[in-house]
Amino acid sequence: MVPTQPRTFRVVAAAFVAVALLAGCAGSSSPFVGVWGDTSDTKQPSLDLKADGNATGTDGCNRLIGSWKEDAKTITFGGFASSRMACEGVDTWLSNAATAKIQEDGKLAVFGQDGSQIGTLNSGK
């Protein structure tokens, strides 16, 4: 008689791995994932929020790179690293983003550290 315990264990382990992989894919359905703002105009703020939690973009002057995570209907930015070019007449508000929410009109409302709204970005999806 051949023991069936190791075979059963392998089947159950493979099922757990498959479920874990599929759960990771499900996280990418966040409404925040995608492009916000006009990426064709480097003098305007824009963000590209990736499903893996990375964020890249521009504040209209400097390149931004950082991270984000979703909590219910809000995202929190992990802070942005940026280049430090001086651009006259450009409001670099996006580099100060702390959190963001999608408004009823579909725009991304961006908030600073003090919780006040500092700007909005249109969906570029």
Which pLDDT tens digit goes with each residue over 40-70? 888 899 999 999 999 999 999 999 999 999 9
67 occurs within a structural domain: yes
24 occurs within a structural domain: no
Which token pair is 124?
């570029």
18 occurs within a structural domain: no
69 occurs within a structural domain: yes
Q: What is the pTM of this model?
A: 0.74
| CATH code of the domain in which 81 resides | 2.40.128.270
Number of domains in the chain: 1
38 occurs within a structural domain: yes
Q: Angle at the Cα of 80 (from 109 to 36), degrees rounded to 5?
A: 35
pLDDT tens, position by position, 2-41: 555 555 445 334 444 343 433 444 445 899 999 999 988 8
Cβ burial 30-53 (10 Å sphere, 16+ → b, else e): eebbebbbeeeeeebbbbbbeeeb
